[in-house]
Each structure stands twice: as C-alpha cells, then as structure tokens.
Amino acid sequence: MDYVKDLYRDEIRAGFLVMSNVKKVWNRQLEIWAELDRICRKHGINYYALDGTLLGAARHGGFVPWDDDFDICMLRRDYNRFTDIVDGELGDDFEIKFKTFAVTKIVHKHTTQIYSLDDIAINLPQGIMIDVCAFDIAPDGTPNSQLAFNAIQELLTAVFDNLSALPKLKHLQDGGQLVTDLDVLERIAEMPKADKLAELYRYVDALSNQSSAVGLFTEVLDGAYKSPAQKRWFDETIYLPFETVELPAPKDYDRYLTARYGDWHTPVRDGINRLGLFCSADIPWRDFLQQIHR
C-alpha cells in the first residue's frame, strides 16, 4: 500500500526540494509504522510520535521535509510489553535490528540503508528502519525522583557492566550513597543475561511512579533535555495528520515540543544527511551486501 502522496514526484515543501527517492524512504517507513500500529492496537499498547516525527506532524502534517527519521516513544510499562511480544508478532517483511533497554529498531527487509563502510561488516539488518524508544523517569526536583534515577543507573551497571562502572556514577563520586543494596546488585550481576534484563525491566517499571517527569534515559543522563517532559502530558492521546495517515500524539504535544525545541514553529534545517552512504527503498539489504562482498 502506498501511503505517501505523489510518491514518485519531486516536490517543494516549506521551500525545500524533496526528491522522489526520499519519498520512497518515507513510504517504507510508513509501511513499518503500519505494522507497529497493528501490533500495538492488537495488544492495547500505547505509543506516541516522538521528536522529529512529532514535530513534522504538528508543523508540516507529515515528514519534516529535510528529515527521514521516524521515531516512536512508549512509556516504560508499554515498552516492556512491546519488547516482550514484538518478535512473535512482526510480519514477514520486517525484522528487529536490535532491542535494548532504551530502543528497539525495526527494519524493512526489502530495503537497504547503510550509514558507513564499517556497517557493512556488522552482522545486523541494514535496512530502512524506525526507532521505538522507551520513556523512563527523569528527575523532577524531588528527592525521591533523584533517588529513583540513581537507582536505575546502579541497576544498569549491574546488568551491562557487572558493576565495573559503579564507582564512576556521578552520585557516588559526589559523595552520595548507593540507593540499591549492594547484595541485590551483585545478585543481578551474576544472573544469566535474560534474567538480568527481566530484573532490570521489573525494577525500572516499579520505580516509574517516583517522578512526575519522563524522558529518554540516556539523554536525561547527558543533560540533553532543556527541561524534562511531564508524564501528565501523555495522559491523553490525540491524532495528528501525517502524510495520508494519522499518528498518535500526546494531547499536550505543544508543551513537549516547546520543552524540547523552544520555538518549534520556526523551521530550522540542520543540514544532516540522514540517508547514509547507501540507501535503496527497493533492494533488500541482504542482496545488496552479497553483491558488495563479491
């Protein structure tokens, strides 16, 4: 099914020339989105357009003309449910590039998108994809929210670093104390990988009510958010036109976009080439890599 109007036509949008090859990428991303939407509706999982995708929906009624990212977010509990069921639900045209604590990348099998020569050697799907990101708690200025945020950092070191990075955590370097009992962290660190991840997701879900603020965990940690998003902004879902479909968005999307971008109504082109080194909406990435290796 073709989702994008005038798929094979060049078009000027907001004073920017959008070439037909970019529109074909958009169309493939919308095909992935339609599969994600089907799965989420089937299982009652809530999700929202995020960042550039939300910005495009609110400002352009579709993709930002110079962008080809397609980002979705879910609050932690929905993200946990999604990662539990997505492998068994995806149709034959799609596959998971990887699933992590923070993001799941879904790839269209019949496409190619390679960002650098180094990617050619990576044994992962290299097609056009969309990102499904987890929204976790962010400090909201209350002691409980900061303690919960610190506890998540400790749990992450137990799961992914076997506690080797524990002394480097900022709250410990600043003279603070461990939030999580050390014996709990050591027990988690010794678990098999699947059990570690299950414990991590369970603990993080349990901590999610300790703050009124949410965000992408890694960006909150790096201080990338000018001000945190409020969880209440996501209490109600509305639908915004996006190309020929409608995407779910938080009712208070204006507040979110203002917190994220400031004056989001004024377009600012960043000049980034997001299509990568090799991009095809028609050639399966496995076929492309096979020819390249020959």
pLDDT per position as a tens digit, 193-219:
999 999 999 999 999 999 999 999 888
**Residue 25 clears pLDDT 60, i.e. is over it:** yes
- pLDDT tens-place string over residues 58-96: 999 999 999 888 999 999 999 999 999 999 999 999 999
CA angle 55, 218, 165 (to 5 degrees): 170
Residue 249: exposed, middle, or buried by beta-carbon count in 10 A (0-12, 13-18, 19+)? Answer: buried
| 139-168 average pLDDT score | 93
Cα separations in angstroms, 266 against 46, 79, 263: 29, 32, 6
> Which tokens hold the place of 69?
């990212």
The contacts of residue 126 (CB under 8 Å, 6+ apart) are: 107, 112, 113, 114, 119, 120, 285, 288, 289
- pLDDT tens-place string over residues 253-290: 999 999 989 999 998 887 676 788 899 999 999 999 98
- pLDDT tens-place string over residues 221-259: 876 666 779 999 999 999 999 999 999 999 999 999 999
**Residue 2 clears pLDDT 60, i.e. is over it:** no
Q: Which of 39-48, 127-136, 160-169 has the lowest mean pLDDT?
A: 160-169
> Which tokens hold the place of 250?
């938080």
pTM of the model: 0.92
**Residue 162 clears pLDDT 70, i.e. is over it:** yes
| 129-156 average pLDDT score | 95
